[in-house]
């Protein structure tokens, strides 16, 4: 297998877009955005392997080309409150039937799922190949344990917004930036749950879930909250998606991906309508005081 730089870039905000306009008009806007993303990829020397749904998968010979493409995407002034989050990783890539597979593809997809709107998460193998001027624009987030890798992967963040909008990641052998969460309190519809490190809460319409919501807009296995390695993580597995609203008013969509939570905030399950309180999950993390 040859080595290459893989970029997974995903559109944020498509679900609210479909709620605001007709399906045909929303699809046209998403298609225009994907076309522009493919153009950016080609302009910096990359090759778009495929674009499906709300994301693009592309490959580059050099890490700086992939980073330039990702930076252009997250800094572009997209219409209709749409934005991009992305993951970048350099490693072995197997090409087969006009598609690509391998560790670099899997890792780039995982990093993209953790990135917040307007952010690109860069894995260590890509970061180490960037020039110094580019490296200093990225913030080290520590190490994250990824499936299939024995050692934590060092992760770096570049964001089009302020530092507060960046993902906070903690793992073994990584610098301890931001908050470390010892436990979290979850509240919904007058009930409360406490989740400690190493524990999981499942959420959905199914009676098998820890938190059961009998609403039509909630999937049977809608999502789950995991607290591990001193970080609270929400994973959405639903068909309708969720919206996260942080205590400072930032809002972003989570649809079949994972994001990290800290501080106080709200997860709107199956909707972005803040007036629907029956499926509004409140979270509050109990953070450790840094040494």
DSSP per-residue letters across the chain: -EEEEEEEEEEESHHHHHHHS-HHHHHHHHHHHHHHHHHHHHHTT-EEEEEETTEEEEEESSHHHHHHHHHHHHHS--STT-EEEEEEEEEEEEEETTEEESHHHHHHHHHHHHPPTTEEEEEHHHHTTS-HHHHTTSEEEEEE--TT-SSPEEEEEEESS-GGGS-----TTS---S-EEEEEEEEETTEEEEEETTEEEEEESSTTSSEE---TTS-TT-EEEEEETTEEEEEE--SS-EEEEETTS-EEEESSSEEEE-SEEEEEET---TT--TTEEEEEEEEEPP-
Q: What is the pLDDT of residue 239?
A: 84
| CA 42 remoteness from chain centre | 24
Task: Give the whole-number percent of the chain exceeding pLDDT 90.
Answer: 52
Q: Is the distance from CB of 167 to CB of 179 less than 8 angstroms?
A: no
Query: pLDDT for 165-217, tens place per residue?
Result: 455 443 333 333 445 677 899 999 899 999 988 899 999 999 999 999 999 99
CATH superfamily of 2-165: Nucleotide cyclase, GGDEF domain (3.30.70.1230)
In sequence order, the 6+-apart residues with CB closer than 8 A to the CB of 231 are 168, 169, 170, 180, 181, 260, 262
Distance CA 87, CA 196 (A): 29
CATH of 180-288, one of 2.60.200.20, 2.115.10.20, 3.40.228.10, 1.10.20.60: 2.60.200.20
Q: What is the pLDDT of residue 161?
A: 56
In sequence order, the 6+-apart residues with CB closer than 8 A to the CB of 133 are none
Query: pLDDT for 26-39, tens place per residue?
Result: 899 999 999 999 99
Residue ranges of the chain that CATH labels 2.60.200.20:
180-288
72 token code pair = 């252009």
Whether the pLDDT of residue 4 is over 60: the answer is yes
Q: Is the distance from CB of 216 to CB of 240 less than 8 angstroms?
A: no
Residue ranges of the chain that CATH labels 3.30.70.1230:
2-165
Q: What is the pLDDT of residue 200?
A: 95
Q: What is the pLDDT of residue 43?
A: 95
219 token code pair = 């999937």
Q: Taking all residues of the chain, what is their mean pLDDT, rounded to a whole number?
A: 86
Q: Which residue has the higher pLDDT, 199 or 256?
A: 199
Q: Which residue has the higher pLDDT, 289 or 92?
A: 92
Q: For residue 255, which of 42, 50, 54 has the smallest C-alpha distance?
A: 54
Predicted TM-score (pTM) of the model is: 0.61
Q: What is the end-to-end Cα distance of the chain in Å, rounded?
A: 44
């Amino acid at each position: 297998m040859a080595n290459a730089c893989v970029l997974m870039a995903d559109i944020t905000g498509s679900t609210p877009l479909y709620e605001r306009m007709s399906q045909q008009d929303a699809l046209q806007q998403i298609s225009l955005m994907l076309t522009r993303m493919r153009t950016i990829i080609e302009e910096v020397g990359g090759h778009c392997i495929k674009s499906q749904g709300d994301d693009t998968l592309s490959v580059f010979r050099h890490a700086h080309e992939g980073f330039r493409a990702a930076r252009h995407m997250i800094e572009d002034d997209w219409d209709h409150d749409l934005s991009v989050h992305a993951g970048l990783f350099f490693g072995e890539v197997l090409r087969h039937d006009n598609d690509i597979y391998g560790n670099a593809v899997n890792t780039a997809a995982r990093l993209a799922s953790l990135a917040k709107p307007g952010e690109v998460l860069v894995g260590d193998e890509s970061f180490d190949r960037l020039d110094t001027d580019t490296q200093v624009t990225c913030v080290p987030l520590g190490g994250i344990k990824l499936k299939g890798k024995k050692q934590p992967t060092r992760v770096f963040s570049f964001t089009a917004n302020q530092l507060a909008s960046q993902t906070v990641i903690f793992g073994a052998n990584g610098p301890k930036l931001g908050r470390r969460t010892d436990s979290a309190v979850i509240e919904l519809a007058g009930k409360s749950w406490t989740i400690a490190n190493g524990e999981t809460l499942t959420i959905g319409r199914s009676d098998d879930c820890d938190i059961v919501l009998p609403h039509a807009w909630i999937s049977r296995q809608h999502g789950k909250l995991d607290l591990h390695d001193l970080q609270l993580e929400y994973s959405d597995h639903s068909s309708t998606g969720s919206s996260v609203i942080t205590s400072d008013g930032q809002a972003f969509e989570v649809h079949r991906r994972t994001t990290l939570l800290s501080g106080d905030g709200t997860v709107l399950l199956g909707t972005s309508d803040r007036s629907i309180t029956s499926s509004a999950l409140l979270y509050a993390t109990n953070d450790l005081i840094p040494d």
